[in-house]
Amino acid sequence: MVRVKDFIRRFEQFAPQYLAESGDPVGMQLGSTEQTIHRVLVTLDVRPEVVKEAIAKKIDFIFAHHPVIFRPAKNLVTDDPQNAMYAELLRHHIAVYAAHTNLDSANGGMNDWLAQQLQLKNVQILQPNYQRKIKKLATYVPEANANGMRQALAAAGAGQLGDYSAASFSYAGTGRFTPNAGAKPFIGQIDQAEAVAETKVEVVFPEALTNAVLAAMFQTHPYEEPAYDLFTLDNASGEQFGIGRVGEPQQAMTIREFAKFTQDAFAVQGLRLVTQHPDELVKRVAVLGGDGGKFYPAVLHQQANVFVTGDVYYHTAHDMLAAGLSAIDPGHHIESIVKSKAVPLFQEWARVAGWNDVTFMASALSTDPFTFIV
pLDDT at 258: 98
Nearest to 4 by CA among 54, 48, 62: 62
Q: CB atoms < 10 A from the CB of 235, how many?
A: 5
- Cα separation, 200 vs 222, whole angstroms: 14
For position 251, which CATH number holds? 3.40.1390.30
Strand-pair partners of 47? none
Q: Is residue 372 part of a domain?
A: no
Dihedral sign for Cα 248, 249, 250, 253, please.
negative
Residues 202 and 341 occupy one common structural domain: no
pTM beyond cutoff 0.85 = no
Quick one: pLDDT at residue 250?
96
Q: What is the count of structural domains for the chain?
A: 3
Position 188 scores a pLDDT of: 86
Domain assignment present for residue 214? The answer is yes
What backbone torsions phi and psi does residue 68 show, to the nearest 5 degrees?
-75, -30
Instruction: Tell me if 104 is assigned to some domain.
Output: no
Q: Is 370 inside a domain boundary?
A: no
Rounded to whole angstroms, how far apart are CA atoms 309 and 326?
11
Instruction: Give the three-state DSSP class for 91.
Output: helix
Same domain membership, residue 354 and residue 306: no
| Residue 8 vs residues 18, 35, 42: alpha-carbon distances, Å | 14, 12, 14
Same domain, 264 and 126: yes
Could you tell me if 43 and 64 are in contact, meaning their C-beta atoms sit under 8 angstroms apart?
A: yes
Tell me, yes or no, whether 252 and 207 share the same domain: no
Within 233-277, strands assigned E span 240-248, 272-274
Reported as type and span, the H/E element at residue 88 is: helix 81-91
Beta carbons of 51 and 60 less than 8 angstroms apart: no
Residues 82 and 226 in one domain: no
Domain that holds residue 160: 133-232
Q: Is 114 exposed, middle or buried (0-12, 13-18, 19+ CB in 10 A)?
A: buried
Q: Are residues 228 and 137 in the same domain?
A: yes
Neighbours of 372 (CB within 10 A): 10
Nearest to 13 by CA among 106, 151, 130: 106
pLDDT confidence of residue 162: 73
The CATH number of whichever domain residue 154 belongs to comes to: 3.30.70.120
**pLDDT score at 132:** 81
Specify whether 163 is located in the same domain as 225: yes
- Assess if residue 368 is contained within a domain: no
Q: Say if residues 133 and 238 touch (Cβ distance below 8 Å).
A: yes
Query: Contact at 8 Å (CB) between 202 and 137?
Result: yes
DSSP 57: T
Q: What is the dihedral of CA 153, 157, 163, 165, to 10 degrees?
A: 20
List the pLDDT tens digit at each of the 374 positions of the chain.
999 999 999 999 899 999 999 999 999 999 999 999 999 999 999 999 999 999 999 999 999 999 999 988 899 999 999 999 999 999 999 999 999 999 999 999 999 999 999 999 999 999 998 888 899 999 999 999 999 999 999 999 999 887 788 999 999 999 998 989 988 888 888 998 989 999 999 999 988 789 999 999 999 999 999 999 999 998 766 788 999 999 999 999 999 999 999 999 999 999 999 999 999 999 999 999 999 999 999 999 999 999 999 999 999 999 999 999 999 999 999 999 999 999 999 999 999 999 999 999 999 999 999 999 97
Instruction: Establish if 220 belongs to a structural domain.
Output: yes
**What whole-number distance in Å separates Cα of residue 356 and Cα of residue 374?**
47
The confidence score (pLDDT) of residue 207 equals: 86
The answer to whether position 367 is within a domain reads no
Domain boundary among 232, 263, 286: 232
**Judgement on whether residues 259 and 174 belong to the same structural domain of the protein:** no
315 and 347: one domain? no
Element (H, E) at 265: helix 255-266
CA–CA separation, 8 vs 63, rounded Å? 10
The answer to the question of residue 178 being in a domain is yes
Residues 172, 117 within the same domain: no
The kind and range of the H/E element at 201 are: strand 194-206
Please give the helix or strand (H or E) that residue 310 lies within, else none.
Answer: strand 306-310
Question: At which of 210, 232, 254 does a domain end?
Answer: 232
pLDDT, position 235: 76
* Residues facing 138 on adjacent strands: 202, 229
Q: Which one of 193, 209, 232 terminates a domain?
A: 232
In this prediction, residue 31 carries a pLDDT of 97
Same domain, 262 and 291: yes
295 and 152 share one domain: no
Cβ neighbours of residue 264 closer than 8 Å, sequence gap 6 or more = none
pLDDT at 236: 66
